[in-house]
Structure 1
Amino acid sequence: IQQMVNFHISNLAKVTIAAIPVPINEARQFGVIQVDADNRVIGFQEKPEHPTPIPGRPDQAFASMGNYIFNGPFLTDILHTDAKNPESSHDFGKDILPSLYQDHPVFAYDFARNRVPEITEEEIGYWRDVGTIGSYWEANMDLRNIKPVFNLYNLKWPIKTSGFGLPPAKFVFNQDGRRGQAVNSLVSEGSIISGGIVQDSVVGRSVTVESGAAIINSILMDRVRIGPDCKINMAIIDKDVVVPAGTRMGYEPEEDKKRFHVDEESNIIVVHKGYKFPKSN
């Protein structure tokens, strides 16, 4: 991020927007930033039919990554001003940024030129739009690959986050039909795989997977508890959900649609935060 900060300072910018070059025929899916030859912002287009190309690069357009650097006092002033505007929806992309570029120095930072030690060519300019269930699932599934596009284990590109003080993940029991294991998966701190199997999945903090359960191609968020003998496939389960013993997801599509939200495009099952399963008779 220091490279973007340096760009912001050197241009005497009030605002700098992280931007990623995308093929012009794909730019219709994104918010497009229009810039001049110096990457100063001269306009915005929201999912345009005819995206404006980057100067000198007719086959590419700048997509907004939704990450910004502001001068602190300037940000405070514009937020106070926007809060008093009854016609504003108080959205950065829709209201605040479009109101600034004509009167203030607003720049786009080409994130594809950002360099981090020890990253691969594929990782340069890594960014994913996770605005759909399918794209969110795919971005997470990439992380558990043997050779992911984005490597979480590059210590030169650390992840800055709060410490949770949880113990390491634990895998217990080693009998036939009751073996705690994870394969091609990420399992976060505080989680216990207690006689179940996790395969090709991403598991959040303080998750429990009980004996006989099988989690495949799924995302389990923090504090999910999977009961014994559950079979979960192609699902995203949000925080604080207790899945009762023997529950099946991802194997009977018509039954899944009756009980859960199933994304129409990807067929991924989504269980919302804190969902309470009906009690069986």
Structure 2
Amino acid sequence: MAAATACVSTGCCSITSAREGYGRQQQGSPSNAAAKSLSRSSFCGDKVAASLKAQAWLPATPKRQNAAMGPIQVSSVLAELDEALEDGTEEKARVDPRTVLSIILGGGAGTRLYPLTKRRAKPAVPIGGAYRLIDVPMSNCINSRINKVFILTQFNSTSLNRHLARTYNFGKINFGDGFVEVLAATQTPGDRGADWFQGTADAVRQYLWLFEDAKNKVVEDVVILSGDHLYRMDYMDFVQKHRDSGADITISCVPMDDSRASDYGLMKIDDEGRVLYFNEKPKGDALKSMQVDTTVLGLTPEEAAAKPYIASMGIYVFKKDVLLKLLRWRYPTANDFGSEIIPASAKEFNVQAYLFNDYWEDIGTIKSFFDANLALTSQPPQFSFYDATKPIFTSPRYLPPTKIEQCQVVDSIISHGCILKGCSVNHSIVGIRSRLQEGIVLKDTMMMGADFYQTEEEVAQLLKAGKIPLGVGENSRISNCIIDKNARIGKNVVIANTDNVQEASRPEEGFYIRTGVTVIEKNGIVKDGTVI
């Protein structure tokens, strides 16, 4: 992409690398009818046969030793071609990425991630020290060569729009018919024109007219994505399986074991992978009834025995005409894909399951977000940003390397542009432009960093005036905590939640507690000597 940059933190410095967008279109082999027609043509001869063999549509024949052996018999070449075609050995046509449109749903209020979503949209929440959640589906689209992307937004979308404009700007380089466009919730004339987005399906419905626009005429399939998942996926393989199966709708799913299955919407499939029905977060006997033979989707017998359930990832591929029919005519009042459109469609449309047997995490809650971030520090992590072949892109910030002076850092990620002096960091993530002073102990903590620097003179003036600068002050001890951007934590602060409080809201003191995790809100101020 033009402005997109893959950022990798390496302890005390950062490495940025640019990557161009799209590979060339892969060409499929001709249809049986076309090839057979060609084989009957009077123009068939040595050149055509050689071309076909070079593309692996004909078996190779021994080279002629000398001219005395005579010319190749065209009839034998044609017979070999017919036999190859009848055996079905020709390769299936590959999906052209230009015929695929991606829609990323980013308009939810994000109540489960509050207070991280107090002033930003859910896809704009920082992750991994240097990225935002929206970078995950956007990078998957880029790495899958999908260059038509819409992002639907509604709540607190200012920072999300700014990040998208800075990072995924297609305007400076010609990407053909590719685009990245933000579609904000709007009000229009008409009976329902005054309504904001009522759900995921309604958000797409309100922009159906745009998906039929002239620039989208070549689109055959629409990929619906969520903005709050952490995973790395080749969407073109997803779409390829969708087309090969002849499905109207294909749902991406992950295998689940007994311990986690009841937390997700589960699917029941037949022996051909067709979805029969859904059950949302079943318990007890209802859970047992949702077991399926996951070897049908490609798992080994051992894997299938350990994970006998499949859970929807909330990622779908629709035939474009089917999507238009469902939203406009068949279910004009349905507001949600997962709970309304998809379960109802399984009764009358060909809905197939696509198995994604790799790391995937729904990080829509404070607890899951916190755990997924700290899991990045594991050795080796289940998900890694350190993949040069399929990078996660983000905004280029041009920050200097991190400076570390007399510190102890263990199993942690230190992003770029940080200043650490005489502190201890253990099993934590330290975000961009973070400042940690002497005597600090940071453990099991996700620190998002800051949007700007304060000079040494500014810091000295603030301290002299009895105010608190950005970052964490001297001799503070922090654990099991999320520190949002631009937070100011004073000296000798203790954040440990020793009383194991599960839920609390103290906005006047700059913090919340959600499922036992302390969250210092964005721009929050924690005074010197505070104990949480």
| Shorter-normalised TM range | 0.7 to 0.9
Structure 2 residue aligned with 1:152: 385
Deviates more, 1:212-221 or 1:239-248: 239-248
Q: Residue 110 in 1 paired to residue 355 in 2? A: yes
Cα distance 1:210–1:53, how it changes in 2: closer, same or farther (>3 A)? Answer: same
Structure 2 residue aligned with 1:6: 240
Q: Residue 236 in 1 paired to residue 470 in 2? A: no
Deviation at 1:252, TM superposition (A): 4.4
- Conserved? CA contact 2:431–2:450, under 8 Å: yes
Cα distance 1:141–1:270, how it changes in 2: closer, same or farther (>3 A)? Answer: same
Partners of 1:25 and 1:251 in 2: how far apart? 27
Structure 1 residue aligned with 2:517: 268
Determine helix, strand or coil for the equivalent of 1:33.
strand
Residue deviations 1:2-52, cap 9 Å, x none? 322221221233332221111246422211012222212221110112231
Partners of 1:251 and 1:55 in 2: how far apart? 44
Structure 2 residue aligned with 1:116: none
Q: Residue 62 in 1 paired to residue 294 in 2? A: no
Structure 2 residue aligned with 1:188: 415
Partners of 2:240 and 2:425 in 1: how far apart? 43
**Amino acid of the structure 1 residue aligned with 2:419:** I
Residue deviations 1:79-100, cap 9 Å, x none? 5669952xx4x33312232232
Residue deviations 1:119-142, cap 9 Å, x none? xxxxxx222344554443332222
Structure 2 residue aligned with 1:163: 395
Structure 2 residue aligned with 1:44: 278
Deviation at 1:64, TM superposition (A): 1.4
Structure 1 residue aligned with 2:269: 35
Partners of 1:30 and 1:199 in 2: how far apart? 32
**Amino acid of the structure 2 residue aligned with 1:35:** I
Q: Residue 127 in 1 paired to residue 360 in 2? A: yes
- Conserved? CA contact 2:265–2:281, under 8 Å: yes
Structure 2 residue aligned with 1:200: 427
- Conserved? CA contact 2:412–2:426, under 8 Å: yes
1:141 to 369, 374, 378: 374
- Conserved? CA contact 1:169–1:192, under 8 Å: no
Partners of 2:310 and 2:401 in 1: how far apart? 41
Determine helix, strand or coil for the equivalent of 1:3.
helix
Determine helix, strand or coil for the equivalent of 2:361.
coil
Partners of 2:347 and 2:270 in 1: how far apart? 13
Partners of 2:327 and 2:431 in 1: how far apart? 34
**Amino acid of the structure 2 residue aligned with 1:245:** K
TM-score normalised to the size of structure 1? 0.75
- Conserved? CA contact 2:403–2:417, under 8 Å: no
Q: Residue 53 in 1 paired to residue 301 in 2? A: no
Question: Which has a greater percent of helix?
Answer: 2
1:101 to 342, 346, 368: 346
Please provide the CA RMSD for this pair: 3.3
- Conserved? CA contact 1:228–1:246, under 8 Å: yes
Q: Gaps spanning 5+ residues in structure 1: where? A: 113-124, 174-178
Structure 1 residue aligned with 2:113: none
Cα distance 1:25–1:244, how it changes in 2: closer, same or farther (>3 A)? Answer: closer
Cα distance 1:131–1:162, how it changes in 2: closer, same or farther (>3 A)? Answer: closer
Determine helix, strand or coil for the equivalent of 1:219.
strand
Q: Residue 92 in 1 paired to residue 337 in 2? A: yes
Deviates more, 1:253-262 or 1:58-67: 253-262
1:213 to 430, 433, 440: 440
Q: Gaps spanning 5+ residues in structure 2: where? A: 1-233, 296-303, 452-469
Between Structure 1 and Structure 2, how many residues are aligned?
257
Q: Percent identity?
A: 26
**Amino acid of the structure 2 residue aligned with 1:238:** D
- Conserved? CA contact 1:166–1:189, under 8 Å: no
Partners of 2:266 and 2:360 in 1: how far apart? 15
Determine helix, strand or coil for the equivalent of 1:53.
coil
Partners of 1:56 and 1:198 in 2: how far apart? 42
Cα distance 1:247–1:37, how it changes in 2: closer, same or farther (>3 A)? Answer: same
Partners of 1:23 and 1:54 in 2: how far apart? 11
- Conserved? CA contact 2:484–2:520, under 8 Å: yes
- Conserved? CA contact 1:172–1:180, under 8 Å: yes
TM-score normalised to the size of structure 2? 0.42
- Conserved? CA contact 1:185–1:201, under 8 Å: yes
Deviates more, 1:226-235 or 1:183-192: 183-192
Deviation at 1:169, TM superposition (A): 4.0
Partners of 1:134 and 1:209 in 2: how far apart? 25
Deviation at 1:215, TM superposition (A): 1.6
Partners of 2:519 and 2:473 in 1: how far apart? 20
Deviates more, 1:20-29 or 1:69-78: 69-78
- Conserved? CA contact 2:490–2:527, under 8 Å: no
Deviation at 1:223, TM superposition (A): 1.9
